[in-house]
């Protein structure tokens, strides 16, 4: 099963997207901002990262930059939503 890390500061968005992705057969982990997402990626790299752009603490742009810097050999795609 493919693992998706879903990052969004809106709890409702996380819940709705998680339900849809899980129904489609994906294993979904969520994070409320980029800082939490980076911790999760360090713990276990996802197969796919889906992130919002505008979030408090660490936004999607900063998360993408941090992932590129810390995981230059990463194999997972990043999808940005807003």
**18-69 tens-digit pLDDT:** 999 999 999 999 999 999 999 999 999 999 999 999 999 999 999 999 999 9
**CA quadruple 10, 15, 20, 22: dihedral positive or negative?**
positive
Residue 67: name the closest of 82, 81, 79, 54 by CA: 79
Position 82 scores a pLDDT of 85
Helix residue spans in the chain (DSSP H): 11-23, 34-43, 60-70
Tell me how far apart the alpha carbons of residues 9 and 32 are, in angstroms, rounded to a whole number: 4
Q: Check whether 1 has a pLDDT greater than 80.
A: no
């Amino acid at each position: 099963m493919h693992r998706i890390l879903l990052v969004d500061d809106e709890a409702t968005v996380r819940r709705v997207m998680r339900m849809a992705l899980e129904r489609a057969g994906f294993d979904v982990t969520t994070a409320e901002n980029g800082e939490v997402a980076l911790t999760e990626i360090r713990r276990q790299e996802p197969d796919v990262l889906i992130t919002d752009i505008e979030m408090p603490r660490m936004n999607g742009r900063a998360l993408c930059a941090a992932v590129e810097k810390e995981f230059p050999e990463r194999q997972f795609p990043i999808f940005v939503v807003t």
